[in-house]
Amino acid sequence: MSDTPTKPVRPPEKNFKLVVEYDGSAYCGWQRQPNQPSIQGALENVLQRMTREAVTLHGSGRTDAGVHALGQTAHFKCRSRLSPDDLQKGMNGLLPGDIAVQSCQGVPLDFHARFDSRWKLYRYRICNRPVKQAVGRQYAWQIFRPLDVAAMEQGTRHLVGRHDFKSFESSGSPRDQTVREVMAASWQHNDDHLEFDIRANGFLRYMVRNIVGTLVAVGMGKLDADAIPALLRAADRRLAPATAPPHGLFLVHVQY
């Protein structure tokens, strides 16, 4: 009989899918950045402590500085023996209060949070009243002038469908393909609070915030609602109104 110790068998690689909620107020955005706090960085640091592996987290997309999420999706691979339930509980015990893992589940090894997504839903919140808002101010853009919601709804209808959204892409971040399909877009309003929901098969950088800025210009009477088709055809960011601030934007859901 040999006294040679047997080499421990490494567990097989596994793939885990996370759904994450976060308040983006204190972060430079989703993507890890040197010397800046990021959502990705905070999650990876906790996962590496738990699994003792160099974990890389892949998100469904990047949210910018100050943008929030109710349902950001990400995946990572590791060889840990921890169960999905153990990972979720452990992460939530170690993460700061402004980041929470809503679910963790095992998925096939070929699942990819970004490339496998079918559509995403974003929501933008506006507080529209003449008096300053204190509670909730970090989660809504306050506009003091009254907005014509009916005109904004009219302008929104021009966005639904397959269009080139280059006029609503952030300058300095060009892509070869700027055509996207907006499956649904609508406004809901309750007293002095407005919510804009938009669902599409993909989004350009700042696309939602640029659209909201344009629709607010319509609501203020600075732009005609029926001018939006011409903006789309122009494919020129310089012709569209200013970008809405980040703190009113939420990534709500990613569909697979």
Give me the active site residues, please.
Answer: 64
Neighbouring-strand partners of residue 22? 69, 99
Q: Let me know: does 148 contact 219? Beta carbons within 8 Å.
A: yes
Joined tokens for residue 180: 């996207």
> Do residues 44 and 57 lie in contact, with contact meaning Cβ atoms separated by under 8 Å?
yes
User: Quick one: which of 163, 91, 138 has its CA closest to 250?
Assistant: 138
Q: Where are the beta strands (DSSP E) in 98-239?
A: 99-107, 119-128, 141-143, 161-164, 179-190, 193-200
Least Cα distance to 61 among 100, 115, 17 occurs for 115
**For tokens 């966005």, what's the residue?**
159
98: alpha, beta or left? (left if phi > 0; alpha if psi -120 to 50): alpha
Task: Classify residue 161 as left (phi > 0), alpha (psi -120 to 50) or beta.
Answer: left
